[in-house]
Amino acid sequence: MKKTGLYLALAAALGLGMTACNRTESPAAGATAEQAAPATQDNPFFVQSELPLQYPHFDRIKDSDFGPAFDAGMAEQLKEVEAIANNAEAPTFDNTIIAMENSGQVLDRAATVFFNLSSTDTNDARKKLDADYSPKFAAHRDAIYLNGKLFERVQALYDQRDTLGLDAEGLRLVERYYTDFVRAGAKLSDADKAKLKDMNAQLATLGTQFDQNVLNEVNASAVTFDSADALAGSSEAQIAAAAAEAKKRGLDGKYVVTLLNTTGQPPLTYLSNRDARQKIFEASIARGSRGNEYDNTGVVAQVIKLRADRAALLGYPNHAAYALEDATAKTPQAVNDMLGKLAPAAVANATREAAELQKMIDQEQAAKGEPTFQLEPWDWAYYSEKVRAAKYNFDESQLKPYFEMKNVLENGVFFAATQLYGITFKERTDLPKYREDTWTYDVFDADGKQLAIFIFDPYARESKRGGAWMNSYVSQSKLRGTQPVVANHLNITKPADGQPTLMTWDEVTTTFHEFGHALHGMFSDVTYPYFSGTSVPRDFVEFPSQVNEMWADWPSILANYAKHYQTGEAMPQALLDKVLAASKFNQGFATTEYLGAAMLDQRWHQLGADKVPDAAGVMPFEAQALKDDGIYFRPVPPRYRTPYFSHIMGGYAAGYYAYIWSEVLDANTQAWIRANGGLKRENGDRFRATLLSRGGSKDAMQLFRDFAGHDPKIEPLLEKRGLDAAPPR
């Protein structure tokens, strides 16, 4: 979720994706891009790409290009900023605000590509660059936002903003710049600015350390089994993949199961060997707190303390108060109130679900003539699939043959977008790629004109961070004359050569979800880079993507892509009906594990500096916080435990609640769409015109009201998640 121009530095300082590489021939500090160019004349970042829509030259980019481009780009932007700050003319919208919007283009190009590649395909060189440049980018950001003369010009324009003759978007841009400068510390004394700079530098370094520890340990914590018998319940392809992973690690004859950066792990769904499930689960939850070289508890303690100290310096009681002031929620209390309303219903439903799972366990054990056992976290996914099969008479293995990946993308995700918005897609193979196992598409608007370029990067790999996300390589802006180049990234296990990629239902819905972000970026129609695409508050950005999930099981869409990968036969209607009937299955678990993480995030960031525990107290604090918030339920641990909770060490600090906050808006929007005819162009055109195209150019909640015609209500969310049922007696 990138901003361009001046705001690249802010994104960098917030840790939205940086890494490190051996820097060769870096220009001296203070050199301009032009001065540095002779030594690095082949550097692709020093000039705008001539490829369609300024698509990056992945074929020309070398890791050794980043350092020189960063150094020269920062020097160039500081020179531009100094010229703005020291302009003898009175401040105007053009010579101050627009000049800042247009600054830093070399840095923008280099950092955008670097951040994105570091997330999706990192290596030792990029890790080193990340570590080296994180504090430098933080210092660069501070050099701009703490420039007193520059802030004087911004404040002068802010004070007279209503007399500048600006349109609504221009007026909002002035207000946002002023707010960002103030929140960055522009009104602090020189002594406090010095303290703030030091804090920001430390936080940048610690954020990189945390991320690299998480990635390194998720790879190091892969679980090894001596025999394929331990993997009973796996498919032949999954066993082959585990054997191949072992061989790659020099463990011929063994089987290695890799982990994802979540508490739950996919094999827990299908492994029938309970000891194997326990081994995988315990390896997963121990990450970051085992006292080894990747232990993150000390990093967490330092980060939380520094964030609390920084918030106090800026005049806030805690980091959550600082972060939420600029979100749609506005206050920690508003977040606490909403999460507090949801937690009892979630745990009640999870308790009801646990009772069903325990009944299944008891019946199975009795049938085998063996003693029963108590449901544990490593049992939940396995027995929930059994209950799902018993209740709805299907399981994931029945679904996967109908969800071949490229068919899901082209005849599901793309087809839905065509039906709703009139846009069309054409794969192209002439543009360079950073990985061969990615796909690139031209996107055309309803009038036939090119709208964007879309990159699809679906496969998991050791060099890729966990989860799924969207990013922009080029953001739309009328000021810059740019159109979007956006990418979606998933973490689907790559099958053995020659085998099809068959997706789980969760992976299908995730693909629809991430494409909702892509649509937000592609439909952007704003003037200023600041507002482009997904540049909206954290607790609003997930809303459009969650809305797009509704088309995954929309009957006409599902029927178009749910076809057997071998025969082409449509998924039987009876199985379709079961998928739809099961849509609220296991929602107590899903909501409880999510709320556990979201409430932990708030607990950490609502601490004052004097209340932050040391490294040894991190895990006890987590355990007590879950109990105090009424979200602790042993069989359902949080989706992320603190030492591998990458969201809140990065851009979602005090903001992980955003998913459920956004889902309130999503549930209201889905209800509106259903009530107004469902999948039809009029509804898509309205959503695009009133919300998706506006980016951050208008207050986020007003964008929702413009579409829905009313304030959001919580009841549609409770109904959607099945949390409106009476609690068990």
The CATH number given to whatever domain includes residue 357 is 1.10.1370.10
456 and 428 belong to one structural domain: yes
Domain that holds residue 591: 296-380+586-729
Burial class (CB in 10 A: 0-12, 13-18, 19+), 235: middle
Q: Last residue of some domain: 262, 286, 310?
A: 286
Taking the C-alpha atoms of residue 515 and residue 505, their distance in angstroms, rounded to an integer, is 16
Report the relative pairing of strands 469-474 and 485-492 from DSSP bridges: antiparallel
Q: Judge whether 277 and 223 are in contact, CB under 8 Å.
A: no
Q: Do 626 and 717 reside in the same domain of the chain?
A: yes
Phi-psi region of 395 (alpha: psi -120 to 50; beta: other; left: phi over 0): beta
Considering the domain architecture, whether residues 252 and 301 belong to the same structural domain is answered as: no
The reply to whether 306 falls in a domain is: yes
Domain boundary among 238, 266, 286: 286
Residue of 524, 431, 445 whose CA lies nearest to 482: 524
Residues 6-32: tens digit of each pLDDT: 544 344 333 333 222 232 232 333 334
Whether residue 415 sits in one domain with residue 530: yes
- The beta strands (E) that lie in 467-537 are given as 469-474, 485-492
In a domain, 201, yes or no: no
* Predicted confidence (pLDDT) at residue 479 exceeds the cutoff of 70: yes
Q: Which of 67, 236, 209, 204 is nearest to 139 (CA)?
A: 204
Annotation marks residue 682 as catalytic: no
Strand, helix or coil at 309?
Answer: helix
Which helix (H) or strand (E) segment is 458 a member of? strand 450-459
- The two three-digit tokens of residue 261, written as one number: 């950066």
Q: Which residues have a Cβ under 8 Å from the Cβ of 273 and sit 6 or more positions away?
A: 229, 230, 231, 232, 233
What is the pLDDT of the chain when averaged over all its residues? 91
The span from the CA of 523 to the CA of 686, in Å, is: 12
Q: Which residues pair with 450 in a beta bridge?
A: 444
724: pLDDT confidence band, cut at 50, 70 and 90? Answer: low
pLDDT at 36: 41
3-state SS of 578-636 is: HHHHHHHCCHHHHHHHHHHHHHHHHHHHCCCHHHCCCHHHHHHHHHHHHHHCCCCCCCC
Q: Is the pTM of this model over 0.95?
A: no
Per-residue model confidence (pLDDT) at position 623: 98
- Do 507 and 629 sit in the same domain of this protein? no
**In-domain check, residue 388:** no
The pLDDT of residue 37 is above 60: no
- Closest by Cα among 620, 555, 613, 529 to 3: 529
Residue 596 and residue 534 share a domain: no
User: Quick check: 707 and 689 in contact, CB under 8 A?
Assistant: no
Q: Is residue 208 part of a domain?
A: no
Contact at 8 Å (CB) between 380 and 635?
yes
- For 525-560, write each residue's pLDDT tens digit: 999 999 999 999 989 999 999 999 999 999 999 999
> Residue 18's pLDDT is what?
29
Cα angle, residue 644 at apex, residues 642 and 645 outer, rounded to 5°:
60
Given pLDDT bands bounded at 50, 70 and 90, which one contains residue 75? very high
Specify if 523 maps to a domain. yes
| Residue closest to 508 by CA, chosen among 538, 447, 550 | 550
Residues 325-374: pLDDT tens digits? Answer: 999 999 999 999 999 989 999 999 999 999 999 999 999 999 999 999 99
Q: What percent of the chain has pLDDT over 70?
A: 94
416 and 521 fall within a common domain: yes
Mark which of 266, 286, 306 sits at the end of a domain: 286
| Same domain flag for 237 and 323 | no
Are 480 and 4 within 8 A, CB to CB? yes
Q: Is residue 549 part of a domain?
A: no
Q: How many domains does the chain have?
A: 4
CATH (domain of 141): 1.10.1370.40
Question: Does 334 share its domain with 464?
Answer: no
Q: DSSP code of 714? A: S
Q: Which two tokens stand for residue 209?
A: 């350390």
Could you tell me where the DSSP H helices lie in 146-221?
Answer: 148-159, 168-183, 190-220
For the residues 233-258, what does the mean pLDDT come to? 95
Q: Are residues 459 and 534 in the same domain?
A: yes
Whether residue 480 is found in the same domain as residue 599: no
Q: Could you count the other beta carbons within 10 Å of the beta carbon of residue 310?
A: 21
Cα–Cα distance, 365 to 29 (Å, whole number):
70
Tokens describing residue 723:
């949390």
Please pick, among 514, 549, 593, 663, the residue that the annotation labels catalytic. Answer: 514
How far apart are the C-alpha atoms of 46 and 34, rounded to whole Å? 9
Residue 355 has a CB neighbour count (10 Å cut-off) of: 12
Q: Indicate if 315 and 372 belong to the same structural domain.
A: yes
**Ramachandran area for residue 473 (φ above 0: left; ψ -120 to 50: alpha; else beta):** alpha
Assess if residue 114 is contained within a domain. yes
The backbone region for 315, taken as left when phi is positive above 0, alpha when psi lies in -120 to 50, beta otherwise, is: left
Q: What is the distance in angstroms between the CA of the first residue and the CA of the last residue of the chain?
A: 45
- As a whole number, mean pLDDT of residues 447-463 equals 96
Residue 6: predicted pLDDT: 53
pLDDT tens digit sequence for 418-445: 999 999 999 999 999 999 999 999 999 9
- Confirm whether 393 is domain-assigned: no
